Chains A and B, each alone.
Chain A
Amino acid sequence: MKEKTLSVSAIKEGIVIDHIRAGQALKIVRLMRFAAEEKRVTIGLNLKSQSTGLKDIIKVENYFLTESQAAQIAIFSPLATVNVIENYKVAKKFQVQLPETIAAVLGCPNLRCITNAEKVPTLFIVEENNSHIILRCKYCEKLFTRDEMREKV
């Protein structure tokens, strides 16, 4: 069996979000508020991936995600997989699925949108157009690509 060197050290309990589109890991950490919850988070950027060339990876110790929570990740990285780790082993593995909507965590890039003027939770409807992910603001109805999105401050 071929020896594999792990770029990021293994964890005992928690989750490993793998195959994240390169460059998206920090966005996901902010979006999921991993840092704010004082969890121990390890991030790998631009790691080699057999399938996608370069990838990012996030490990969060003593933390678990439901599939619906994980769906938020799909906006920035639709091919990401979530590995649930128990006692250093992968107990469960699933691919993230696009959610129908994203509530509250993203800000509307349209500065003329009312959500940037009033204290109101945002809501984006997720649509797929020719395999591109498009987000439509419930309020101003404008369409945005995921690269235009920013986390709500």
Chain B
Amino acid sequence: MASVIVELKLAMKNTLAGRDLVSITDLSKQEIELILSTAESLQKKIRPDLLKGSILANCFFEPSTRTRFSFETAMLRLGGSVISFSEASTISSKKGESLYDSIKVIGNYADILVIRHPQEGSARLAAEATDKPVINAGDGANQHPSQTLLDLFTIRQTQGKIDNLNIALVGDLKFGRTVHSLSLALAHYPVRLYFISPEILALPESISQELKKKGVRFSFHSSIEEIVPKIDILYMTRIQKERFSEVQAEGFVNPCLLKKKHLEKAKSNLKVLHPLPRVDEIETSIDDTQYAYYFQQAANGVPVRMALLSLLLGKI
């Protein structure tokens, strides 16, 4: 009976049915909360027939493993089916077909589409090409909202809340799309943010302006060690090789490598997150500590994407 009430409550609040998810800024705080609570209930109890008869088109114009597999897993776990391609060379765009036309055609086959494409803004254009819901799974360096939602889900899962947390974001803050989207999403909550990066990879002015506008408290730092004792979440990101060489060329020591000794003064509830793939930002010896949570974070991609598919398809 209790679960029926929960489901009714969720169904009443679903303002996402039939919508696209292109950018994290498309979502209100209430809609983010709805996705997180739906993900939580589906993680506790999978509903294997929820999306029976629905077809997801996974349109990956560039390679991905975690995102593509987790969307596919989410659809299959809920009883839906998947059609997909995983590189542009296998479809008509190789013959010169426009993205707009490709998506218009695929939209006639499937009930919902997930798109990853190297060009920025491609997902917004795809959403205009079809009436079916489109989920952006990464458009170049722009947006990857389902990653942000699974990050928020993981933060809430590990701390029991998002409000009043101290959260540090580390790495390539200039080009890293996950950091931009996560910061903007966290701006819905009363949190304290700490940004750590080499100076030349600092957070863009446009994002810090937006955070200021929303009244978020934040500061910039040059080493992880100095802020570890204060924080609840340490969100690490990779600095792409080509950026890293720029940093090295200018004689900087990369301040964004996490070593086990940095965690000596950590609070007991601290969790280290990372969107993966990891290269050398987190020492592997940290994997076995109570602080490491990045692999569970990646696993959370499935319940969060189950929630997204169900809500956008209007099935919950």
Question: How many residue-residue contacts, CB under 8 A, span A and B?
Answer: 53
A117 near B119 with CB under 8 A, answer: yes
* The 4 residue pairs across chains A and B that have the minimum distance between CB atoms: A139-B121, A140-B120, A140-B121, A114-B121
Contact of B100 among A112, A120, A129 (CB under 8 A): A120
Q: Provide 21 A-B residue pairs closer than 8 Å at the C-beta atoms, listed in order of the A residue.
A: A108-B121, A112-B118, A112-B140, A114-B119, A114-B120, A114-B121, A114-B122, A114-B124, A114-B125, A115-B125, A117-B119, A118-B125, A120-B125, A129-B209, A138-B124, A139-B122, A140-B120, A141-B23, A141-B25, A141-B143, A142-B120
A114 near B99 with CB under 8 A, answer: yes
A110 within 8 A of B: yes
Q: A interface vs B, CB < 8 Å?
A: 108, 110, 112-115, 117-120, 129, 137-143
Contact of A141 among B100, B117, B119, B142 (CB under 8 A): B142
Residue of A nearest to B205 (CB): A143
Contact of B142 among A108, A117, A140, A143 (CB under 8 A): A140
Tell me how many residues of B have a C-beta within 8 Å of chain A. 20
Contact of A118 among B98, B139, B209 (CB under 8 A): B98
Q: By DSSP majority rule, is chain A's interface helix, strand, loop, or mixed?
A: loop
Within the assembled complex, what's the spacing in Å between the Cα atoms of A120 and B126?
Answer: 11
Residue of B nearest to A110 (CB): B120
How many Å from the CB of A145 to the closest CB on chain B? 11
A113 near B209 with CB under 8 A, answer: no
B8 within 8 A of A: no
- Chain A residues lying within 8 Å of B23, measured Cβ to Cβ, are 141
- Chain B residues lying within 8 Å of A115, measured Cβ to Cβ, are 121, 125
Question: Which residues of B115-167 are within 8 A (CB) of A?
Answer: 117-122, 124-125, 139-143
Within the assembled complex, what's the spacing in Å between the Cα atoms of A118 and B98?
Answer: 7
How many Å from the CB of A35 to the closest CB on chain B? 30
A sample of 13 more A-B contacts (CB under 8 A), given A114-B120, A117-B119, A140-B142, is A108-B121, A114-B119, A114-B124, A114-B139, A118-B99, A137-B121, A138-B121, A139-B121, A139-B125, A141-B25, A141-B120, A141-B143, A142-B120
Within the assembled complex, what's the spacing in Å between the Cα atoms of A117 and B139?
Answer: 14
Residue of B nearest to A141 (CB): B142
B285 within 8 A of A: no
B206 within 8 A of A: yes
Within the assembled complex, what's the spacing in Å between the Cα atoms of A117 and B206?
Answer: 25
- Chain B residues lying within 8 Å of A117, measured Cβ to Cβ, are 99, 119
Within the assembled complex, what's the spacing in Å between the Cα atoms of A7 and B158?
Answer: 72
A113 near B99 with CB under 8 A, answer: no
- Chain A residues lying within 8 Å of B124, measured Cβ to Cβ, are 114, 138-139
